[in-house]
Amino acid sequence: MLKIAVYSEEKVMSPLLQEYMGIWQRDAGCVCAVRYYDNVHAIMVDMDLEGIYDVVVVYRSWDVADVLKKDRRVGSLVMIAAGINRRLYDIQPCYILYEPVNAANFKKVMTMAVEGSRDERRFTFVSGRVRYSVDTRSIMYFESELRRINLVTTEQKYVFYGSIGEMEKRMKVDYGGFIRPHESYLVNPDHVSRCTAHEMILTNGKSIHISATRRADVKRYYSELINC
């Protein structure tokens, strides 16, 4: 089930957004878990407890849109704006809807936002009781540690239960492009700055040993991309 958050500090607008959301769900045949907020802290707390929102709709507040756009637990961000604002170019919401808002244009932008959220190359996982979603382009590597997986992105580290073998199968089937230089590592080649016969140097400076049993596979994989 899709999770959607709608943010509006204007009490007079909230009932109208609820009405339009109901019309869109009915016409699209889409049953979603929708929550309405007037406080950004409440959204952040709910995401801490329950994980990502597939779509977040923000009414007029560019400050709130800025906070949510930077949060990797938000799939598609829809901004409803009174008009063109200079902050549009800094924040760059996924979708923008200019007022006046009506049921027709709301339905159109929501349909695009949901499709965009589904199509985006994101890796979703559960850590504790929280569901996370990260852009696969930001993933540097997966590391196996006992029964846990350390997922390291360009911004932070996550830990969840799983096996590196399961991750390898999943990434190859769903995303492709990941390589396993060692029994304990699965690496995104986009974040490899240098590769020798014995090690990979990642863009953050980390060195990953290439095991003897994996060396031929790594060399073959990089033959057209990197000078191994």
pLDDT, averaged across the chain: 86
Express each pLDDT in 21-49 by its tens digit. Answer: 999 999 988 878 899 999 999 998 888 77
**Cα–Cα separations (whole angstroms), residue 14 to 35, 111, 170:** 11, 20, 40
Strand order in the sheet with 148-153: 157-161, 148-153, 139-145, 185-187, 179-182
Domains and CATH numbers, the chain: 2-120 (3.40.50.2300), 123-222 (2.40.50.1020)
Q: Is residue 225 over pLDDT 70?
A: no
Express each pLDDT in 118-169 by its tens digit. Answer: 656 678 888 888 888 787 878 999 999 989 999 999 888 999 999 999 999 8
